[in-house]
Structure 1
Amino acid sequence: MFGLSTRKQHREHAHRWNEALRTRQKELKTSVGVHDCKNEPAAPPCGSKEAQHPGSFCPFTTLMADSTPSFKAADLVIQLSPSSKTKPDVLDFGTVFTDHMLTIEWSVTEGWQAPLIKPFGNLSLHPACSSLHYGIQLFEGLKAYRGDDNRLCLFRPMLNMNRMANSAKRACLPAFDQSELLECIRQLVEIDQDWVPYSGSASLYIRPTFISTEPSLGVKKPTRALLYVILSPAGSYFNNESEAISLWANPKYTRAWKGGTGDCKMGGNYGCALFAQYEAVDYGCQQVLWLYGEDQQITEAGTMNIFLHWINEDGEEELATPPLDGIILPGITRQSILELTRKWGEFKVTERYLTMDQLCSALKQQRVKEMFGSGTACMICPIGHIMYQGENLHIPRQDKNSQLTSQIAKELTDIQYGRTSSDWTYLV
C-alpha cells in the first residue's frame, strides 16, 4: 500500500507541476510574447552525444528555459550592510565571509524573482526542504584576484557558469542565463571588493550554490529553488602549497561511476568521500587517489584533477590526464593546463586512461618525471608519495628550475593576477 500511495502522490505532484507550468506558459505568451515551441528543432535524446556536450540541452531544460525567462542583472536590488565586519589577519579556507551575499529565488508558478544583494546572513528553510533530504543541490567555486595594478579580475568565469548550468540540468533544477548570473556575481564582488586580499598568494573565493527549497517530502522535481552566492577571502588551501602531498590509493572505495553524477559539482559527491578521506589520514596521507574499475584506473586525487608527466610506453615525453568520460569533474584549471601546454608544443599532451599498473611500472623503470593535482582551491599541487597495497611509492620531482608544476603555476598565476594579458581574465 505504501508503494501505491507513493506512486499516486508522485502522479498527482507531476500533474500539479505540469498544470502550473502550462498556466505560466500561457501568461508569458500574452505578457512578454514568448514564442511557441512547436516549430523549434527537436531536442536531442538525453543520452545522445549532443545532449551530453557542455552547453547542449535536454527536453526538461529546454522547457524551463522557454517557459521561465531567466532573472536579469538589470533588475538587481541592492541592500547594503550598515557596517562592515572586521577582516581577519589569518585566512583559514572557507571560515570567514564577506559583508554581503546574492540570493535569487525561483518557483514554478512565478518563475525567477529579481536578484537581491543583501547583508550576509542565515537562510530560512522548511524542515522538509528536499535539498536537505534528497541532496537536490549543487555548487561552484571560482576566485577573484587583485592584480599588481590593483584591478580585480576573475579567471575564465563563464566556464564555471556553464558547468553550473550543466549540473543544474542533472539535478532537475531550473535553467538560468549564465551571463546574467555572472554579471550579478561581478556586482557582488565589486560591492565587497575591499575583501579581496592585497596578496599574490591569496584571493576571494566565490561560492555559487543552487538548492531545491521544495517544502515537502517525496523524491520529485522541485517547485521552488534558491540560487545564492557567498564570498570568502582565502589563502592557501594546503598549509604549504610548495610541499608535495601524499595520496592513499585503495580500490575498495569509488568516488564516481559511469552513468552517475561524477562529472557534476554536486555536494553529495563530496560528502560521500569523507569516510575514505579520514581513512587516508589514518594511513598518514593527506588525500585519496580515487581508482575505478577492475584495472584500477587513476581518476582524481581528493578534490583535484590529476596529471602525470612521464616518458610513456612509446618513449615519448607526455603530460597525461584521465579523459572526461562521465566520472571526472571537468575542472577549469584542468582545461586551462591542457590548453596552455598544448600551445607550448614542447611535449605530447594527452587525455588518456592511466592505471596503477602503468604507474607502478613507470616508477620502477624511472620514467616518471612528476605528478600533480589541479583545482580552483589548490591551483597546482605536486604529489610526493602514494600509499598503495602497503607500499609507499615515491613520486620523483624535477629540479626546481625545470619543474613542470612550477612553470604551469607561474603562467597561470601571472594571468590570474594580471601580470600577463589574456582573454582568460574577466575584469570586475
Structure 2
Amino acid sequence: MKAADLIINPSTTFKEKPDPKGLVFGTVFSDNMLFIEWSVDSGWEKPQIKPLENLSVHPAISAFHYAVEPRGLTEAKLLHMLWLNEYTLFEGMKAYRGVDGKIRLFRPSLNMDRMLRSAIRATLPGFDKEELLECIRKLVEVEKEWVPYSTSASLYIRPTLIGTEPSLGVKKPSRALLYVILSPVGPYFATGTFNPISLWADPKYVRAWKGGTGDCKLGGNYGSSIYAQREAMELGCQQVLWLYGEDHQITEVGTMNLFLHWRNEDGEEELATPPLDGIILPGVTRQSILDLAHKWGEFKVSERYITMSDLIAALKDRRVKEMFGAGTACVVCPISTILYMGEHLHIPTMENGPQIASRFLKQLTDIQYGREDSEWTVMVS
C-alpha cells in the first residue's frame, strides 16, 4: 500500500452539507470514500478515492458470518452494518476545523497503531501505518468542505477492514477490503456535549474477558453489547458500566474508557483508570488524559483495578470527587448515577465542578480546534 499510488476520481455530484447544530451521530456521510482491496496473491491494490457507494460482495464473505448476523440485509444497509462482525475491525478518529480555519487530525498515529494490532489479532492483512494515514489525510483533504465550520462538531473518520473471502470456512481470509468513510458529527449523546449520564452495572453481562479480543477494536465486541445496552435503557440508564470477575471490577463504560478522581484508600488525591490487561480498549483519549495528568503533576495518576466495593466504600466516606468516561466520540462525559444491585448510587461529579473532567475537556478540545499548539495534531490543510 503506497499513498503515492493513490488514484483520485472524486464524485462530480455533491450532497448538501448538513447544519452542524442538528447532526445525529453517524447518519450523514460525505461524497467520497477511500477504497483499497487486498488478496493473498497480489497484496494491496492501488488505493482509490472514489464516490461513496454501496459495496457489492458475495453473500458468503467471512465478514458476514460467525458473529452478529443481521437478517434481511440489503446492499443499501451493508456499508453501515459490516462493523458488527468478527471478521471486521474499525477505527474511530476525527478531523477538526480549527479557530484558524485549518483542519487537524488528533494523534492519528495512535489510531493506526491500534488498527494494525487489531488486524493482526483478527488474522486480517497488515499494512503500512504511515501510508494508510497519508491516504486518509488525502481523503479528508478532498472532503474538506465536509469538516463542519463549528467548534462543537467535527468530521468522524471510520477506517474499516473486512475479510471478503467467499467461503464459509473458519480460517484466515485470503481476500480483504479496507475502506474509509466520513461522517460529520456533533455531540455523541442526545443529552448534549457535557451533560452527565447514568449507568447500569450488572455482572450478568461482560464486555470482554481474559484471552479474548477486548483490547482490539473488532466489530464483534460492539455487536454483542447491544442487548445489554437495550436493557440498560429499559431501566432508565443511558449506558452500561461493564463489570468483570467475581469481585465486580469496573472496566469500561459503554464504548468509553473510565476515570475516577477520588481520595484513595491511603488518603491520596488520585486519578485512576483500569489497567490495560487485555480486556480494556487502549483508547486514544484515555492515553491523552493520562499524558496530560502526568504533565500537570498535581495528583497521583494510576492505572489500577477498582471494584464496585471500592467505589461504594469511597462514596460512603465521601472520598469520590468525579467519575467520567472518555472516548473519541464524546471526548469527556461526566457520570452522575450508577444503578447497581437495585440501588442508585449517586456520583457527585457535577457537584464538584466538575473541575477535573471539564479541565481535561477544555485542554483536549483546545488542542483539537487549534486554540493551543500541540505536537499531537497533524495538519490536513
Q: TM-score range by the shorter chain?
A: over 0.9
Q: Does 1:109 align with 2:41?
A: yes
Q: Does 1:98 align with 2:98?
A: no
Correspondence for 1:53: none
Q: 1:152 aligns with which of 103, 121, 126?
A: 103
1:400·1:406 contact (CA, 8 Å) conserved in 2?
Answer: no
Q: 2:330 aligns with which of 360, 378, 395?
A: 378
Matches within 5 A, 1:324-343: 324-343=276-295
Shift of 1:401: 5.4
Q: 1:366 aligns with which of 318, 325, 334?
A: 318
Range 201-210 or range 80-89, more displaced: 80-89
What is the TM-score normalised by the length of structure 2?
0.93
Q: Runs of at least 4 residues of structure 1 off by over 3 A?
A: 398-402
Shift of 1:395: 0.2
Shift of 1:402: 5.9
Correspondence for 2:77: none
Correspondence for 1:420: 372
Q: 3-state DSSP class of the match of 1:264?
A: coil
d(CA) in 1 for partners of 2:8 and 2:287? Answer: 35
Correspondence for 2:173: 222
Shift of 1:82: 1.0
Q: 3-state DSSP class of the match of 2:149?
A: coil
1:111-144 Cα deviation digits (max 9, x unpaired): 1100000000101110100111132110000000
Correspondence for 1:80: 10
Correspondence for 2:259: 307
Q: 3-state DSSP class of the match of 2:199?
A: strand
Aligned-pair identity (%): 69
Q: Does 1:352 align with 2:304?
A: yes
Q: Number of paired residues? A: 358
Letter in 2 for 1:291: L
Q: Does 1:184 align with 2:135?
A: yes
Correspondence for 2:63: 131
The alpha-carbon distance between structure 1 residues 315 and 398, as it changes in their structure 2 partners (threshold 3 A), is farther
Correspondence for 2:74: none
d(CA) in 2 for partners of 1:329 and 1:336? Answer: 14
Choose between structure 1 and 2 for higher RCO, CA contacts under 8 A separated by at least 6 residues: 2
Q: 2:272 aligns with which of 320, 329, 349?
A: 320
d(CA) in 1 for partners of 2:354 and 2:27? Answer: 36
d(CA) in 2 for partners of 1:177 and 1:226? Answer: 15
Q: 3-state DSSP class of the match of 2:136?
A: helix
d(CA) in 1 for partners of 2:370 and 2:178? Answer: 30
Shift of 1:397: 2.2
Letter in 2 for 1:392: H
d(CA) in 1 for partners of 2:338 and 2:4? Answer: 51
Correspondence for 2:149: 198
d(CA) in 2 for partners of 1:398 and 1:282? Answer: 24
Letter in 1 for 2:377: T
What is the TM-score normalised by the length of structure 1?
0.83
Letter in 1 for 2:10: L
Correspondence for 2:117: 166
2:194·2:332 contact (CA, 8 Å) conserved in 1?
Answer: no
1:154·1:426 contact (CA, 8 Å) conserved in 2?
Answer: yes
Correspondence for 2:356: 404
Letter in 2 for 1:152: I
Correspondence for 2:80: none
Letter in 1 for 2:254: G
Matches within 5 A, 1:386-397: 386-397=338-349
Correspondence for 2:207: 255
1:77-130 Cα deviation digits (max 9, x unpaired): 011111110112221100000010000000011111000000001011101001
Letter in 1 for 2:326: S
Correspondence for 2:72: none
d(CA) in 1 for partners of 2:247 and 2:227? Answer: 23
Shift of 1:255: 0.6
d(CA) in 2 for partners of 1:80 and 1:280? Answer: 42
Matches within 5 A, 1:220-299: 220-239=171-190, 240-299=192-251
Structure 2: gaps (5+ residues): 67-85
1:279-323 Cα deviation digits (max 9, x unpaired): 101110000000000000000000000000000000000000000
1:321-374 Cα deviation digits (max 9, x unpaired): 000000000000000000001110110000000000000000000000010000
1:264·1:329 contact (CA, 8 Å) conserved in 2?
Answer: yes
Structure 1: gaps (5+ residues): 1-70
Higher helix share: 1
Rg comparison, structure with higher value: 1
